Amino acid sequence: MKTRLTAATAALLFSSAIVAPAQAAETITVPFTTPSTGTTEQYSGIVRVTVSGTGFSRGADINDAFYFSPSGAVEPSGYYQLGFSTSPLQPFDAANAAFSSVIGGRPAFNVSGVYSFLLNTGSTAPTNLYFGVTDGNFGDNGGAFSITVIQGVPEPATWALMILGFGAVGGAMRRRQSVAAKVRFA
């Protein structure tokens, strides 16, 4: 009996240990004055991203991650908004516009300039993520984004192992209760 409970507890702890590293999270500051800022942690698959902050990346036009905000929520070209890649961003590369990797497409305009969304990294192996503004003319830029990245969606194998661990603990507890409920009189 104790062996089963010990094995079930070990399975639960083992499955929890696998889930924990998948929950990496960090916040980085991404200035509009450099093309690329990378994460220190590594991520893969789908991550949750929250980005806030505004700046100007085209002279006096103020923009947030996805829109020229004071201009009535106008969608800028790929050069003047949040860029994303799994390798350092290059100036004048509109193909790295972050909204093309956002699950469900570009978030709706938010007057606060804060957006939270799921981002497909396109990578199955853990890698650094890079964010920036890719307009290439950084001399007239100012401001910064604050970006929080969370590895929030565990792999299916991780979920299966965790469920197996909970099932083993539940089975051991049920078995223990049924054995303890038997009463014998002499």
| Whether residue 67 sits in one domain with residue 49 | yes
Residues 83 and 140 in one domain: yes
CATH code of residue 36: 2.60.120
Range of the domain at 160: 1-22+154-186
Coil vs helix vs strand at 109: coil
Asked if 177 and 134 sit in the same domain, the reply is no
Q: Please provide residue 169's backbone torsions phi and psi, each rounded to the nearest 5 degrees.
A: -65, -45
Same domain for 32 and 51, yes or no, is yes
Mean pLDDT across the chain? 80
Backbone angles phi, psi at 144, to 5 degrees: -160, 155
Query: CA 28 to CA 91: how far, in whole Å?
Result: 20
What is the rounded distance in angstroms from the CA atom of residue 128 to the CA atom of residue 122?
Answer: 12
Is residue 178 scored above 80 in pLDDT? no
In whole angstroms, what is the distance from residue 167 CA to residue 143 CA?
Answer: 50
- Could you tell me if 16 and 41 lie in one domain? no
> Does 21 score more than 60 pLDDT?
no
Cα(123)–Cα(30) distance, rounded to whole angstroms? 22
Q: pTM (2 decimals)?
A: 0.70
Please give the average per-residue pLDDT across 45-56, as a whole number.
94
The total number of structural domains in the chain stands at 2
Residue 63 CA to residue 19 CA, distance in Å, equals 37
pLDDT tens profile 98-112: 999 999 999 999 989
Q: Are 70 and 112 within one domain? A: yes
Interval 9-33 mean pLDDT? 66
CA distance 94 to 16: 40
Q: Residue 44 and residue 120: Cα distance in Å, rounded?
A: 8
Q: Do residue 5 and residue 67 come from a single domain?
A: no
Residues 102 and 180 reside in one and the same domain: no
